C-alpha cells in the first residue's frame, strides 16, 4: 500500500514514515520547502524509491492536497503547528483547521483510491483542567480551551490557544465526515496522544530544534535548568501523561490496518508521569550515559512513587488496548533510549 504523510519532516511524522517504510509500505511525504526534504531523503536513503517527498507550500490554501492524494491508499495527516508562542490564536487555529479540512476535501475530490485518513489529534482535544483527578475517555471534548480563547482571545493562556487549535481541527474532521457521509466510501480515525517523548530522528542541530514535547523532556530531565526556573516543586509536581513516539508511530500504522479503527477517536497513552520519574530513571541507568554535564538529581522518589503524588489528568486506554493491542514502552525503556540518543549526539551540543 501507499500512504501519504503530511508534515513528514516533523518529530512524530519521521517516526510514522519510518514505521510505514519498515513494514513495506510506500510513502509519499509532504514538506513545506525543498530544503526540508533533504534530511528525510538522507535519513531514509536505504528505502530508495519506496519514499517520495513532495512540497506542499501552504496547507491552508484551497486544493493544496489535490495532487498529492492521487494514487494513495491512505493518508496520515500530522502537519499542524505545535508550540506555545502564538500571539493570536488564529496563528495556530487556521493551519490546524484548514489543513485538516483541506486534506479531507482533497481526498473527497481526488483521492479515489483512499480508504482511510488518520488524523494526528491530541488529548488537547479531550482534556480540561480540573482541581481533582479525572480519567478522561474518548467521549470527552475540551470545551474549556475553546471558551478561554473565545473570551480572552490573544490574552488566553498559550496552552489554551494550542489546545483550542487541536479541538477545532478534530471537530472539523468529524463534522466533515458527518456532512459527507453519503458521498464518501472511506473513513477517518483520529489518534489522541498526550506528551510524546524521544528519541528523535528529525533534523536536529541543537536542543532548540527539538519539537515542543521532546524539548520539554530535554529541559526538565537532561538539563533541568528550566525546571529551576519553574520552581522548586516542579519536578515532583509537574508532568502529565505521555507516550513513546515509536508506540505512537505504530498506532498510526495500526490505525490504517485495523478495520475497527474506522470512525473512532482513540487515546494513545502509556500513563501518567512526573518529571522526577524520568530523572530517577535516568539516574538509574547502568552504565550511566556519558553527557557533557551530570544528570540532575531533583528529589529522588518524590515523583509518581510518592504516596502524596496526585495525577490530575488520566486517560482511559481501553479502546486502544482493544483495537490495537498496543504494549506501551515504559519510562525505563524510553529514558534509556533517549539518553543513548543524547549521548550519540554529544547531548545535542
Ligand atoms: P513538529 O513541530 O515536530 O512537527 C510539526 C509538523 O507540522 C512539521 O512538519 C511542520 O512543518 C508542520 N507544520 C507546523 N505548522 C505548520 C503550518 N502552519 N503549515 C504547514 N505545516 C505546518 O511537532 P510534532 O511532531 O510534535 O507534532 C506533530 C503532530 O502531532 C501535530 O499535529 C501535533 O499537534 C500532534 N501532537 C503532538 C504531541 C507531542 O507531544 N509532540 C502530542 C499530541 C499531538 P515545518 O517543519 O515546516 O514547520
Domains and CATH numbers, the chain: 2-197+243-269+313-328 (3.40.50.720)
pLDDT in tens, the chain (349 residues): 999 999 999 999 999 999 999 999 999 999 999 999 999 999 999 999 999 999 999 999 999 999 999 999 999 999 999 999 999 999 999 999 999 999 999 999 999 999 999 999 999 999 999 999 999 999 999 999 999 999 999 999 999 999 999 999 999 999 999 999 999 999 999 999 999 998 888 888 888 888 999 999 998 998 877 766 666 688 999 999 999 999 999 999 999 999 999 999 999 999 999 999 999 999 999 999 888 888 889 899 999 999 999 999 999 999 999 999 999 999 999 999 999 999 888 766 5
Nearest to 56 by CA among 90, 92, 26, 99: 99
Which of 82, 196, 217 has the most ligand 1 atoms within 8 A of CB, as the residue to mutate? 82
Please choose from 4, 5, 8, 12 the residue to mutate so as to test ligand 1's pocket, defined by most ligand atoms within 8 A of CB. Answer: 12
- The answer to whether 259 and 113 have CB atoms below 8 angstroms apart is no
By DSSP bridging, strand 2-6 and strand 74-77 are: parallel
Q: Cα angle vertex 305, ends 303, 308, to 5°?
A: 75
Separation of 212 CA from ligand 1 center, angstroms?
9
Q: Active-site residue 166, yes or no? A: yes
Write out the DSSP string of 28-82: EEEESSHHHHHHHHHHTGGGGGGEEEEE-S-TTSTTTTTTTTTT-SEEEE-----
* Measured distance CA(218)–CA(330) in Å, rounded: 18
From 36, 166, 258, 319, active-site residue: 166
ipTM of the complex: 0.99
63-67-69 Cα angle (round to 5): 95
Cα 309 to middle of ligand 1, angstroms: 31
| Cell 519498515, residue located | 22
Contact 166 CB / ligand 1 (< 6 Å): yes
Which atom from ligand 1 is nearest to the alpha carbon of 12? Answer: 25
DSSP 274-293: EHHHHHHHHHT-SSPP--SS
Amino acid at each position: 500500500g501507499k500512504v501519504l504523510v503530511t508534515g513528514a519532516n516533523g518529530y512524530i511524522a519521521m517516526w510514522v514514515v519510518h514505521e510505514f517504510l519498515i513494514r513495506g509500505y510506500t510513502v509519499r511525504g509532504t514538506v513545506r520547502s525543498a530544503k526540508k526534504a533533504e534530511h528525510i531523503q538522507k535519513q531514509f536513503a536505504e528505502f530508495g524509491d519506496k519514499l517520495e517527498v513532495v512540497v506542499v507550500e501552504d496547507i491552508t490554501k484551497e486544493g493544496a492536497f489535490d495532487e498529492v492524494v492521487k494514487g494513495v491508499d491512505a493518508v496520515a495527516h500530522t502537519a499542524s503547528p505545535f508550540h506555545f508562542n502564538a500571539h493570536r490564536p488564529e496563528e495556530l487555529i487556521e493551519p490546524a483547521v484548514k489543513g485538516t479540512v483541506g486534506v479531507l476535501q482533497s481526498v473527497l475530490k481526488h483521492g479515489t483510491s483512499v480508504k482511510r485518513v488518520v488524523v494526528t489529534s491530541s488529548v488537547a482535544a479531550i482534556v480540561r483542567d480540573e482541581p481533582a483527578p479525572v480519567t478522561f475517555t474518548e467521549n470527552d471534548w475540551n470545551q474549556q480551551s475553546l471558551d478561554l480563547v473565545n473570551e480572552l482571545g490573544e490574552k488566553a493562556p498559550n496552552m489554551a490557544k494550542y489546545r483550542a487549535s487541536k479541538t477545532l481541527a478534530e471537530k472539523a474532521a468529524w463534522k466533515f465526515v458527518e456532512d459527507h457521509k453519503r458521498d464518501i466510501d472511506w473513513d477517518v480515525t483520529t489518534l489522541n496522544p498526550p506528551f510524546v517523548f524521544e528519541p528523535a530522528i528529525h533534523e536536529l542541530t541543537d536542543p532548540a530544534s527539538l519539537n515542543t514535547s521532546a524539548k520539554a523532556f530535554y529541559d526538565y530531565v537532561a538539563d533541568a535548568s528550566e525546571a529551576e526556573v519553574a520552581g522548586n516543586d516542579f519536578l515532583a509536581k509537574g508532568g502529565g501523561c505521555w507516550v513513546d513516539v515509536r508506540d505512537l508511530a505504530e498506532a498510526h500504522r495500526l490505525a490504517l490496518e485495523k478495520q475497527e479503527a474506522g470512525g473512532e477517536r482513540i487515546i494513545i497513552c502509556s500513563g501518567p508521569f512526573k518529571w522526577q520519574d524520568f530523572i530517577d530513571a535516568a539516574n538509574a541507568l547502568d552504565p550511566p550515559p556519558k553527557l557533557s554535564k551530570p544528570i540532575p538529581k531533583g528529589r529522588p522518589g518524590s515523583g509518581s512513587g510518592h504516596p502524596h503524588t496526585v495525577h490530575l489528568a488520566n486517560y482511559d486506554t481501553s479502546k486502544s488496548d482493544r483495537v490495537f493491542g498496543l504494549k506501551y514502552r515504559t519510562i525505563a525503556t524510553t529514558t534509556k533510549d533517549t539518553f543513548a540518543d543524547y549521548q550519540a549526539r554529544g547531548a545535542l551540543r
